[in-house]
Amino acid sequence: MQISTKGASGVNYTLLLISISLATFMSALDGTIVNIALPTISGIFNLPMTSVSWVATIYLLVLTGCVLIFGKLADRIGFKSIFITGFFIFTIGSFACGYFPELFNSYGILIGSRIIQAIGGAMIVSIAPALVATFFPMKMKGKALGLITMFAAIGAAVGPVMGGMLTQYLSWNWIFYINLPVGCLAILLGIYSIPVTPPAEKVLSAFDRLGAVLVFSGFGSLIYAVSQGPSVGWTNPYILGAAAVSVIALISLLFHELRIPDPLIDFRLFTKQNFLIANLMLIMTYFLFAGVNYILPFFLEIVRGLDPSRSGIILTALSGAVMVSGVLSGILINRYGNRRLCIIGAFIVCLGYMMFIIFSSDISIVYIALSLAVLGFGLGFLVSPGTNMIMGMAPRNRHGMVSSLLNVERFGPMTLGISFVSMLFIQAILAVGKYRHVTTSSPQDLVIDAVATGFDLVFLVIFLISLAIFALAILSRDEIHPDNVDSDEPILVGV
């Protein structure tokens, strides 16, 4: 697959694509590289695991709460300044995470530095799909999104491996220092390759500050409640309070955004049936994938009896398949359209989840790897065309907002998916344990049987829900907003 070096407008598509790919790579990498070092950080600062988990939680909380805000700002002031400033803040935050906590022996400084890093990360990821939708010609959008999907898969795949190696052979600080050369390179490439554009819309009203507060408090409280609920208990006053704040803020956000002429989130877009269907399709895809990705290592190590290193190697089959199918789907989008590829991808995803149903303690390792590869291949065929479909339906003056919305639809459902699968798994074990009297007798074979049955229920429920993704893919339609037709030549005012 080739991407043209330059367009007639002078845009260097190759360098621009590298800049966007670095953003998605770093976003995916940073989401997985930190978790592997949490036990080490816990020991250094003498913290329980419930406290050190905030290193991961605070990043996700701030990122989700800020991404829509920066997407809207990008629509108002231009993409280039948001992207470059974001990478600068992200790089500074990464250095602060690695250097200052040990210098001052302060866990609080680490959390504060992660907040800075998350703000920069939100600025970066909020507009990555928008850069493709705005600056790449129609014939290249699918290929570009396919490559970006591949880099995101690579980042997620190498994160745990790289994090483990850096922590073991250097120190935990290097999981943050690794961002510095990549950040500096991305800043230089962004300065050179991202065109300077006029704002996508005339600024006729003040920035929606109330909407920004409601977005941050609503999504932030939701992420906090969902991520901390399983560990501290769902009836904990803080969890109940956060859930109440989230519900009130998000309902208030909906009514507020529908009343103002220049909303932070244009909910009116969801009145278009196809836009709603496509977004629901991706939301459910991320929801299920996160849950499965979370619980599979437990199955491999507890039920199948594999060690962590072998489990990690087997799980790379999923990421590897996403890389291949992400690129392949990008090549095929222009020939077959988004909808056909989404249907194919959703069908393969359902097939992959169906293969999980017969997982057992004596299931073949080859079969497990094959099942993961099938699932990953389907995900690559589903996510890239689905993203392209949504961005294609958005008017140009909403590209930043819709781009950031796509990231909210990724981070939020992934957090919810992990909690959903955890609750389902625990309830299944308790139910089976009570029925088989495992909780009183506790013989080893019955305990393993209860755990295995818990996994059986989880995999069955996930497969049944995945059928809804397939149905949504069938109901979707290929639609292009007039703003995005014949958009090979973006209006530029300088490079």
Q: How far apart are CA 113 and CA 179, in angstroms?
A: 14
Domain presence at residue 277: yes
Question: Distance of CA 490 to CAs 4, 133, 138, 167, 440, Å?
Answer: 16, 10, 11, 45, 69
Whether 88 and 174 map to the same domain: the answer is yes
CATH code at 24?
A: 1.20.1250.20
Q: What pLDDT is stored for residue 46 in this prediction?
A: 85
Asked if the structure places residue 495 within a domain, the reply is no
Residue that has been written with the tokens 């109440």 in this structure: 244
Domain co-membership, 165 together with 213: no
Q: Same structural domain for residues 203 and 245?
A: no
* Domain finish residue from 235, 259, 283: 259
Q: Total structural domains in the chain?
A: 2
Whether residue 302 sits in one domain with residue 219: no
The string of DSSP codes covering 391-414 is HHHS-GGGHHHHHHHHHHHHHHHH
Is residue 57 in a domain?
yes
d(Cα 422, Cα 240) in Å, to the nearest integer? Answer: 19
How confident is the prediction for the chain on average, in pLDDT? 80
Contact (Cβ atoms closer than 8 angstroms) between residue 304 and residue 363: yes
- For residue 41 the two structure tokens come to 């950080």
Task: Determine, yes or no, domain membership for 128.
Answer: yes
Residues 186 and 225 in one domain: no
Q: What's the per-residue H, E or C state across 347-376?
A: HHHHHHHHHHCCCCCCCCHHHHHHHHHHHH
The strand pairing partners of 12, in sequence order, are 6
229, 367: one domain = no
Look up the domain containing 435 and give its range: 13-208+260-484
In a 13 Å sphere around the CA of 482, the CA atoms on its Cβ side amount to: 0
| Contact status, residue 132 vs residue 148, Cβ threshold 8 Å | yes
Give domain status of residue 493, yes or no: no
Q: Answer whether 0.95 is exceeded by the pTM.
A: no
Same domain, 195 and 245: no
Do residue 250 and residue 279 come from a single domain? no
In a domain, 279, yes or no: yes
Same domain as 312, residue 193? yes
Same domain for 123 and 265?
yes
Q: Residue 5: inside a domain, yes or no?
A: no
Handedness of CA 153, 155, 158, 160 (dihedral sign): negative
Judge if 475 and 443 occupy the same domain. Answer: yes
pLDDT digits (tens), the chain, 495 positions: 445 455 545 678 888 888 888 888 887 787 677 777 777 888 888 877 667 777 877 887 788 778 888 887 887 777 888 889 999 999 999 999 999 988 888 888 999 999 999 899 888 888 777 788 778 887 777 777 777 777 777 777 677 778 777 887 888 889 899 889 988 888 888 888 888 766 555 554 667 788 888 888 888 888 788 877 777 777 888 889 999 999 999 899 888 888 887 787 888 888 888 999 999 999 999 889 878 877 787 788 777 877 766 777 787 788 788 888 877 887 888 788 889 999 999 999 999 999 998 888 788 889 999 999 999 999 988 988 888 888 888 887 777 778 778 877 877 787 788 778 877 887 777 776 666 554 454 545 555 666 777 788 888 999 999 999 999 999 998 888 776 665 444 333 322
Q: How far apart are CA 471 and CA 128, in angstroms?
A: 28
Whether residue 3 lies inside any domain: the answer is no
Pair 265, 324 in one domain: yes
